[in-house]
Structure 1
């Protein structure tokens, strides 16, 4: 136990270094602000692709975006303002409710798309450092001081989809969706790159968003399966058929300067093994730089996710990641993150949930929303 405490005490300094590195990269990136023409093009593409808005008049002067003729609810207007403010070089976003455009430019009024089947995007953004957030990713992990594994390949196949979006209370938006993912690890030191463990996850989330506040509540199922090659090696004394259902809730708030905080908890039921303790908590901090490099194509990011589980006597599981996010103004919903990754805590890999692990690695993470 003392060794575990000593190992986990190192994570605070690692987290600070990762966050400081991301902020430093952001400061360097902001040295050469983009032109008004670049901001206007980026903003128009974002409004068209993420908000389905094509008729409003948009001008940029000295880094200030002026929008006229936008017929949208206060909630949609706040979302647009928050999204456009994240563009590199934008100082302010102003909306004008004055006269309509001249007759030669006049367009039909815009109706906010509130009740939508299969809408674009997600009301609740992905948790960047959560080891079990459904996404497409591939990473190399080096396990430290582990007698079972050393070089590990991690592959994740999954995604979150919004099924139906509708208006909620207090001018908010809500949506029902689906999440699904497969989380697998491979022993890269084995001759045949043996599959060690695969976790299968599916959830039905209900999301809520009002201005900078968002929330997610979901019911989920997870089951774990050992790889056949790994079983034949006889390295596990007893096979644990880990499986459970559960529900959790996460609250999130977007802060200035690209920061985001979140926190919540959950409860597991229909447990196998039946003596698995059910309660868990989750908190985190994320940083998505408001500044970018190379005309909006590179954005520094960093995140830390902290989980505590009753099963592990409320010991802290820490996941920290930092790196860059690759973006394309023409495909704003698609993002590729290249991240340095660190994990210290109870293993998130099914069969081995009773073991403590520490790892460092590098990964590619794809997001399509």
Structure 2
């Protein structure tokens, strides 16, 4: 009897221990993805009873086919599973269109943009910039031609890119272009004043310009005192201009421009200029890159002859803006670049430094 009771107690203890073990195992099974009793958990990740939702369900299978089709490209005609497919070489297109931005940029209004859509002609003698060149001129020996000016963006409707600007933009430009006679106490011989407002548009490699500028020429006081019999000319013009430039590559630009003056004094209405610029357009770092520029400027008052300018040297483009600093050799041949002496023919050879906006 005692043996039976003792065995019964042993069986009862075994059953109780099994129940306790089962109850203890249920929360662990829930955390392993098994049975789970509903329970309230805190949404705070730092709380001890927080449980991520990813632990409450099995992971979903990855979408899409488990195997990829066999794709072969032979020349320009690719095949997928043996069937010829239409093919577009995006890499080749992007290489041939360096100004294209994949996905594009949304256009919006930009007040006082930091870059210029239609940049100044690098070898243009009458462009507004900072610059100076020491030249040897056939009749005057050493001269110092300097340009003190700027060109800034006022308003743009387009993208906000600094080095690849696109859209419509209004600029303002102005400069004083002065000539100093180094041999004669650095006297001011003459100065041309220019100011204008160009409206420009750019998309991809194309750039368009329409605008207005005023230019007037004045002889220096020191020059008139030393040459009292010199015939002073009131050379002035108010001009409407239209220009187009095309980037054949990222660095190579061709351009042409025509101007018609609705007001003239001494000068005649029509002018034409064209040329080539080859220069970096993106940041160069301290090492810089070479540049080359040619400009031809024809004017009606010279019977549509004019002047030829060539420059070659080294250029740097900044990291924060598209401004360009250049240093190099300068050559000019034709009607004087100071329009107070427009009837005089000059040949200039020298060195210069130029800062373009």
TM-score bracket for the superposition, by shorter chain length: 0.5 to 0.7
Alpha-carbon RMSD: 2.7
What is the match of residue 61 of structure 2? none
> 1:121-270 counterparts in 2 under 5 A?
121-144=115-138, 146=139, 149-167=140-158, 173-190=167-184, 192-234=185-227, 237-256=230-249, 258-270=251-263
Match of 1:317 among 307, 312, 319: 307
Give the 3-state SS of the residue equivalent to 1:239 in structure 2: coil
> 1:22-37 counterparts in 2 under 5 A?
none
Give the 3-state SS of the residue equivalent to 1:153 in structure 2: strand
TM-score with structure 1 length normalisation?
0.64
**How many pairs does the alignment contain?**
258
Runs (5+) with no aligned partner, structure 1: 1-80, 87-92, 98-109
What is the match of residue 344 of structure 2? 355
**Alpha-carbon distance, 1:256 to partner:** 2.1
Match of 1:345 among 297, 319, 334: 334
Contact 1:297 1:327 in 2 (8 A): no
What is the match of residue 24 of structure 1? none
CA change 1:150–1:236 in 2 (3 A) is farther
What is the match of residue 277 of structure 1? 268
Superposed CA offset, 1:327-366 (max 9, x none): 343x343431002110011112121011111101111111
TM-score with structure 2 length normalisation?
0.66
Superposed CA offset, 1:212-255 (max 9, x none): 00011111111111111111111752111111211111100001
**Alpha-carbon distance, 1:154 to partner:** 1.2
CA distance in 2, matches of 1:332, 1:292: 8
**Alpha-carbon distance, 1:124 to partner:** 0.5
What is the match of residue 288 of structure 1? 279
Contact 1:117 1:165 in 2 (8 A): yes
CA distance in 2, matches of 1:246, 1:290: 29
**Alpha-carbon distance, 1:111 to partner:** 7.0
Contact 1:345 1:356 in 2 (8 A): yes
CA distance in 2, matches of 1:321, 1:254: 19
CA distance in 2, matches of 1:175, 1:334: 17
CA change 1:209–1:236 in 2 (3 A) is farther
Stretches (4+) displaced over 2 A: 110-114, 289-293, 326-329, 331-335
**Relative contact order (alpha carbons < 8 A, sep ≥ 6): 1 or 2 greater?**
1
**Alpha-carbon distance, 1:290 to partner:** 7.8
CA change 1:236–1:162 in 2 (3 A) is farther
**Alpha-carbon distance, 1:297 to partner:** 3.1
CA change 1:291–1:181 in 2 (3 A) is closer
Match of 1:307 among 286, 289, 297: 297
CA change 1:237–1:316 in 2 (3 A) is closer
Contact 2:191 2:338 in 1 (8 A): yes
Give the 3-state SS of the residue equivalent to 1:115 in structure 2: strand
CA change 1:334–1:277 in 2 (3 A) is closer
Contact 2:115 2:153 in 1 (8 A): yes
Contact 1:259 1:288 in 2 (8 A): yes
CA change 1:284–1:296 in 2 (3 A) is same
Give the 3-state SS of the residue equivalent to 1:119 in structure 2: coil
CA distance in 2, matches of 1:165, 1:249: 19
CA change 1:204–1:297 in 2 (3 A) is same
